[in-house]
Each structure stands twice: as C-alpha cells, then as structure tokens.
Amino acid sequence: MSTGNIRVGVIGTGGMGTRHAVNIHRFVGGATVSAVYDLDQGHANQAAAQCGNARVFDDPIKLINDNSIDAVVIASPDGTHADMTLACLKAGKPVLCEKPLATRAEDAVKVLEAEVAIGRKLIAVGFMRRFDPQHVAVKNMAMSGEIGKPLLWKGVHRNAQIAFGITGATILINSAGHDFDSARFLLSEEVQDVSVRGLKSRPELHQDTKDLLLIQMTMSNNCLATAEVYVNDEYGYEVSAELVCQCGTAITEQPDKTLVRAKSHRGFYVASDWLSPFQDAYVAELIDWVDSLQKGQPFHGASAWDGYVTMMVTTAAIQSLNTGAVVPVKLIEKPALYQ
Ligand code: ISE
C-alpha cells in the first residue's frame, strides 16, 4: 500500500456511511474520500458534497475496481457486506467493512477462507467499541490485575426504536454482534456456548417480533457473560459493559454526560442514536485503519477472524432462541494469519 495519501471509496451513504465519509474528510489526515456510492444516488450526491465533492459512482463494483481507489469502506445494508468484501479481496484492496461481516455463517466462512487464501490481512471489521476510550479503560483495568481475574462480562445494549416487526434473528445479527464482540474483546476469550431468550415488548407488535433479548454465554476459560439487548426502549440509546472481577468491578460510562436542569428535572440527556456517543471511537478506528495502510503496521481493531467468530456466535444464538437449547459455538481452528 502507498505511503502517501490513501484514496478511500465509501459504499453506502446512509447514516453510518455518511458519518464515516465525513469523519475521514474532517478528522483523518493522510486519507481523502475520493468516491462514494449509494443505491439512492441523491444520498450519494449529498454525502459527496459534504466531503470535498467526491466522485459519485453508480455501481459499487466499478468503485471497488477503479484504479483511483486505494481502499474501501463498506456501510451498505448488512446483507450486501459479504459480497462487497469479497469483491474488495478480488481487487486486492483493503476494506473496512461495517459489522456484521456477513449475515449467514456460510458467507462469513467464504470471506474468511478468501482472505486466508490471499495470505494477507486486507479486512478490518467495524466493531468500533474496541476503540471507545471507556471500553479500553475497562480492558486495561482487568489486564492490570488490580481487581483480580475477570469472572463475568455484563452488557446492556438499548436502542430507542427499531423497525416495526423486527425478528430476534435480525437483532442478533445487526445489534447483538457488538455485544458478542465486546465480551470476547474485554475477556480476551472465545464464546463456548450461548443461550438466548426473547420476548415481544408490546402486544401490538408483529407476532414474530422479539425486541428484548436476554443472552447468556459460557466463555472458553469458564468466565460467564450476559447481555440484555432491548431495541424499543423509547427513551434513547445506551450501551454499557461491566467486568466483574475477583475483587472489584469496572464499568464503562457514557463520556458525553452533561448535567441538565430543566422542567422540574435534574439529570442527564440520553443520546437518541449511537453516532454521537461513539463519535470518538469511530474517528479513532478510522485513524488507526488509515495509519495501518500508510505505515504497514497492524490494524488494532477487529479482523476477518473476529467478524467470522461473531457470525458463528450469532448463528448459535439464533438456534438457541428458536429451540430454547444451550447451543455450542463451533469454530474452525484459528488460521495462522490471525495468531
Ligand atoms: C446499529 O447498526 C449499530 O451499530 C448500533 O450500535 C446498534 O445499537 C444498533 O442496534 C444497530 O442497528
């Protein structure tokens, strides 16, 4: 990869893709948003205008293969991620793919195998919590040994609202992937088995809806992990991760808290979505990614292996939700590329 300016193409310019494009344009030295693509060309034009009038493509594959593009960010709908990532690998281009890496286990395997066949780590996966200063502080505290050995990871993950009729499987793929990755990242362990229960929060929701999930995991070193994922809380977006260790605990706090007094109330606002609470993490992730491309140093975020493992945990979690069983997570042996 060139040591000069990295010319990035962004595929998908919804909320997340536009945020990545604008973040690169404003905050990432050494990279330029050279091109954007979205199925909705109006959206693509708007995103392009916000980052120095990047070129607008009408076909994502043309963007990936274009000689003027050095690296690609994928933020198109989840179901397209695996194919877009495979196209980047075919073109030999580094790619930062938003989570999930794939929406089906077999596609995650295909992507992993394709990268292993190339023998170079071209794929980065957008599990941005790994760059969140609060999560990093919790991990450092656990690793310091000051509060003893970690025993339990406890996650809370809430969204104000998600599309009507969303199934438990969709939440596990689109939302809970972050929690699977957070547990693995903070405990430095793999998930051995998973058990999921779910319910529908309101009678008027579609019969297949499961918008509140309770997840339990056994980790590879016999630590435990548990998460509440609730995507219709109405009040806002909140994420926390706590490590219960032998003689103390460490928990993330939202960094952007301002005490507000208004309308007979004294308290903290809660963000309505994830873009602002994790803004610093998104920027740090992009800076680390571009640095890794420019300087040939390792990317410190999630790899194709992490994307693959998350999809395998997700697959077991869906099976557990459907059957009520505790489902083992089956992984291939970790390829040398990711050791
Ligand atoms: C979204 O894609 C995210 O990444 C958010 O962090 C998560 O809270 C939300 O549920 C997802 O839809």
- Written as tens digits, the pLDDT of the chain (339 aa) is 555 799 999 999 999 999 999 999 999 999 999 999 999 999 999 999 999 989 999 999 999 999 999 999 999 999 999 999 999 999 999 999 999 999 999 999 999 999 999 999 999 999 999 999 999 999 999 999 999 999 999 999 999 998 778 899 999 999 999 999 999 999 999 999 999 999 999 999 999 999 999 999 999 988 999 999 999 999 999 999 999 999 999 999 876 677 889 889 998 888 888 998 999 999 999 999 999 999 999 999 999 999 999 999 999 999 999 999 999 999 999 999 999
E-only strand ranges, the chain: 6-11, 31-37, 55-57, 71-74, 95-98, 123-126, 150-158, 191-199, 212-219, 224-230, 238-245, 248-251, 259-262, 265-268, 302-303, 327-328
274 CB near ligand 1 (under 6 Å): yes
pLDDT score, position 165: 80
pLDDT score, position 255: 63
Nearest to 156 by CA among 230, 59, 82, 63: 230
Q: What are phi and psi for residue 140, nearest 5 degrees?
A: -60, -40
Helix (H), strand (E) counts: the chain: 10, 16
Relative to beta strand 327-328, strand 191-199 is antiparallel
pLDDT score, position 320: 98
Q: Give ranges for CATH 3.40.50.720 in the chain.
A: 6-128+280-302
170 CB near ligand 1 (under 6 Å): no
Report the nearest-CA residue for atom 1 of ligand 1. 175
Whether the full predicted model's pTM is greater than 0.85, yes or no, is: yes
Arch. (CATH architecture) of 130-273+310-338: 2-Layer Sandwich (3.30)
308 CB near ligand 1 (under 6 Å): no
Report the nearest-CA residue for atom 11 of ligand 1. 175
81 CB near ligand 1 (under 6 Å): no
pLDDT score, position 97: 99
CATH class in words for 6-128+280-302: alpha beta
Q: Is 34 helix (H, G, I), strand (E, B) or coil?
A: strand
Rounded distance between C-alpha atoms, residue 155 and residue 187, angstroms:
12
Q: Give ranges for CATH 3.30.360.10 in the chain.
A: 130-273+310-338
Contact 191, 311 (CB under 8 A): no
174 CB near ligand 1 (under 6 Å): yes
Q: Which amino acid, residue 111?
A: V
For ligand 1, mutation pick of 274, 276, 278 (most atoms within 8 Å of CB): 274
